[in-house]
Amino acid sequence: MEERFTKVGVPIQWVEPVLSTDARIPTGIANPRAHAIMLNHLDMIAEFLKSDKEMGIFCEDDIFIRRNWNKDIQVAIDAYKRLNLSILLLGYLTNYKPSETSTHWYHHPLETPFTFLSVGSDLWGSQMYMMDKAGAKKCLEAFGDYSKVTTHFNPDWTITKMPGGACIYPMLAVEAGIVATDHWGQINFHRACFETNYKQGDYF
């Protein structure tokens, strides 16, 4: 990841990984690993709020990014502001091209080469997303206290489904297609998402 973002001149700020043994994880929960992943995302967002940056981009470490990053991210930032969003998904999991189906509806007409779409219930993945300070504050207020979260404590069910969100397509980040599980359905799904969205020459 360092090498990829260095190529486009973007510095990375890492946060410490959250382990499933973290003291913040309640004892006896069914999936401490998922809880740890959610806490890791919340830690990233909290660090952003401490910074003097206007926009925060949060990503996982198993992605390819677009070669024209600096140009394309500006398109995303402009759309975020114009559409008055709380969150914009820049990388996620889908095994179909959402701009070519009727599952989602357009937030805005096509802006070559990007389309901005609402986030459907069948769209998953927190590979990369963007928030401004207002969106980040809303996120921590809604999900920072585990005892107040009424859905799964997982970025897919919470952060990526925040009200006022949208997704960009083509994505600015595509997952590498490898998932740490022995569940064949998940393995095949992640591979299919990669094969559907990764275009050689557009990403590195």
Please tell me the predicted confidence (pLDDT) of residue 186: 93
Where in 73-149 does DSSP place strands (E)? 87-93, 106-111, 114-117, 124-132
> What integer pLDDT is reported at residue 122 of this predicted model?
80
pLDDT(108) > 60: no
pLDDT above 90 coverage of the chain, percent: 81
109-121 pLDDT per residue, tens: 445 689 888 888 8
Write out pLDDT tens, residues 34-53.
999 999 999 999 999 999 99
Shortest CA distance to 88 belongs to which of 66, 112, 56?
A: 56
- pLDDT, residue 98, reads 80
Is beta strand 114-117 parallel, antiparallel or unpaired with respect to 165-169? Answer: antiparallel
pLDDT of residue 110: 44
Backbone angles phi, psi at 157, to 5 degrees: -90, -15
What are the CA-CA distances from residue 10 to residues 46, 158, 198 (Å)? 20, 27, 21
CATH of domain 2-197: 3.90.550
171-193 as b/e: b if 16+ CB within 10 A: bbbbbebebeeeeeeeeebbbeb
Q: What is the pLDDT of residue 104?
A: 55
What is the mean pLDDT of the segment spanning 73-81?
95
The mean of the pLDDT values for the chain is 92
Q: How confident is the model at residue 72 (pLDDT cuts 50, 70, 90)?
A: very high
Q: Looking up tokens 């928030």, which residue turns up? A: 131
Query: What's the pLDDT at 128?
Result: 98
Residue 56 one-letter amino acid? G
pLDDT of residue 56: 98
pTM of the predicted structure, to 2 decimals: 0.93
pLDDT in tens, 133-186: 999 999 999 999 999 999 999 999 999 999 999 999 999 999 999 888 889 999
